[in-house]
Amino acid sequence: MSDRLKKLVGFGPEPRNLHPSRTRGPITHVVILDGTMSTLEEGFETNAGATFRLLSEMAPSSAISLKYEAGIQWQGWRRAIDVLAGVGINRQIRRAYGYIASRYRPGDRIFLFGYSRGAYAVRSLAGVIDQIGLLRADCATERNVRQAYRHYRGDPKAIAAQSFRKAMCHEAAPVEMVGVWDTVRALGFRAPIIWRLSPVEHVFHNHDLGETTRHGYHALALNETRRVFEPVLWTSHPDYTGKVEQVWFRGTHGDVGGHLTGCEAARPLANISLVWILDKAEKCGLPLPQDWRSRYPCDADAPSIGTWRGLGKLFIQRQRRLVGADPSERIHHSALGHLSSKERIRAALKWPSLSKRKRT
């Protein structure tokens, strides 16, 4: 197998892929895609990275197949456009798709996690599986992975795409859960010069919840105002039979995603959305260490990293986020104490259960 194919389907020397070693039974496949300039390096670890570290304790003994990819990194001004425009997201989605396709068997389960642009990528990955299907392991070649992606980019309902799906893909490959922190677009940088320099190939992505996704959970930043981080929410559809929850937490984009860049005083605030996503995953059947909750102390009154820290000062376009436009949205109970009196009244009228009891 060529090195190029190994990299595409996940068999290469990537040290962040962990596979079960026991006799083959039902396996849980977990893909985690991190945000821009996020890594597992101390001080740059996000909630997505923390999820990987936690799950790596369970693999391989708990039959978990685990893949983590860091976000696009700053490597000097030559790659500035890549960082700002999200160049490489299509390759990242194809790699993740190939990784799952080469390992999935009927009866296995799929969990997808992501932060920021990584959240956009895993939602699009779920879109590929929903619209095109998941290639069977015996068909998961580099050529077929690329062909599946071409059908996804084109017309998934076309005869050629449907014939491809019938011949090459599993009859069903449901995604058990998509858990994301503050999704932003791959082309979210709101500057005309960046739009002109960015690839146009991102516009076809389907980031909605399809019928093959059973659970969708989205943690959102209530206090983020930078328009560069404009969130991409799910839109509820009456015919969707799965479960979707989009919950607003106190904090900014970095707070909710755990991307604190050294401001560890904000970690107890970031842990609130981390624990919420992990709790949902555990309830969906994802095995976690028994003492996992005690590792993430939460404090809704912990300081926020704010929106004017570091490079945040460069983003002068500001606008408050629209909250509550979709029926799947609500405000987390931990954020209520930091709302103004008018905001609390509006929240109580829109979500009466918030004033009656705590929700997780």
Strand, helix or coil at 275?
helix
- Evaluate whether residue 22 is within a structural domain: no
pLDDT score at 245: 98
How many Cβ atoms sit within 10 Å of the Cβ of residue 191? 14
- Evaluate whether residue 14 is within a structural domain: no
127: nearest Cα among 148, 105, 103: 148
Tokens of 315: 């983003």
- Evaluate whether residue 112 is within a structural domain: yes
- Evaluate whether residue 52 is within a structural domain: yes
Number of domains in the chain: 1
- Evaluate whether residue 5 is within a structural domain: no
Tokens of 346: 């509006």
pLDDT score at 193: 44
pLDDT tens-digit map of 26-63: 999 999 999 887 888 876 789 999 999 999 998 777 79
Q: Which residues, in sequence order, are CB contacts of 313 under 8 Å at separation 6+? A: none
Cα–Cα distances in Å, from 341 out to 109, 139, 326?
44, 58, 23
The residue segments making up the domain with residue 284 are: 28-354
pLDDT tens-digit map of 288-322: 999 999 999 999 999 999 865 655 566 666 788 99
pLDDT score at 92: 92
**How many CA atoms within 13 Å lie on the side-chain side of 162?**
3
- Evaluate whether residue 213 is within a structural domain: yes
- Evaluate whether residue 90 is within a structural domain: yes
- Evaluate whether residue 226 is within a structural domain: yes
Q: Answer whether 234's CB lies under 8 Å from 180's CB.
A: no
Strand 17-18 to 64-69 pairing: antiparallel
